[in-house]
């Protein structure tokens, strides 16, 4: 979803958000540092495949997906990291790795780490490595209807 479409999607639903421009950064942790936000509050989107179907795992920048936990949450043994070549064409107007966590718009399941739901706000990439959006977590959950669960562990 290109940034303008994402903003229009949010505007059409009367969702308040703030756009934050920052210097080019490629990891969620670098972005958090760039905009002076704790890494646990910046969400990163990890593309996964569950039983061969593309899905999104949304978790704090400071965490990594624990595939054993995610398999339990998804009630399957077939969960794996998706290769960039497998999902790049799904987000043609987004920079590689900068897709926003709105998989529901693409018919994808979205799993969100429950720790993100504890914060009032969520920060995430907005189709670019130089812009971040900030919005209320309650609005995000209302729009996306993610499956909330514990499936991550701290980065070492």
Summarised one tens digit per residue, pLDDT across range 76-120 is: 999 999 998 899 888 877 888 888 999 988 889 999 999 999 999
29 versus 119: which is more confidently predicted? Answer: 119
Total count of domains within the chain = 1
115: domain CATH number is 3.90.960.10
Which pLDDT does position 2 carry in this prediction?
A: 58
Q: What pLDDT, in 10s, does the model give residues 130-150?
A: 889 999 999 999 999 999 999
The pTM score is: 0.91
Q: Look at residue 39 and tell me whether its pLDDT is greater than 90.
A: no
Which phi and psi angles does 113 have, rounded to 5°? Answer: -65, 130
Domain enclosing residue 44, as ranges: 3-154
Range name among 2-6, 50-54, 111-115 with the lowest pLDDT average: 2-6
């Amino acid at each position: 979803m290109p940034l303008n479409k994402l903003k229009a999607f949010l505007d059409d639903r009367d969702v308040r958000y703030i756009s934050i421009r920052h210097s080019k950064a490629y990891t969620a942790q670098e972005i958090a540092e760039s905009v002076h936000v704790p890494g646990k509050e910046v969400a990163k989107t990890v593309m996964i495949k569950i039983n061969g179907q593309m899905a999104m795992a949304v978790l704090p920048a400071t965490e990594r997906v624990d595939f054993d936990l995610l398999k339990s949450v998804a009630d399957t043994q077939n969960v794996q990291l998706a290769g960039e070549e497998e999902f790049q064409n799904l987000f043609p107007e987004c920079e590689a790795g900068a897709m926003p966590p709105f998989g529901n718009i693409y018919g994808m399941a979205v799993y969100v780490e429950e720790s993100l739901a504890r914060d009032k706000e969520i920060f995430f990439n907005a189709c670019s490595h130089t812009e971040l959006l900030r919005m209320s977590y309650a609005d995000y959950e209302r729009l996306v209807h993610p499956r909330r669960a514990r499936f991550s562990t701290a980065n070492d």
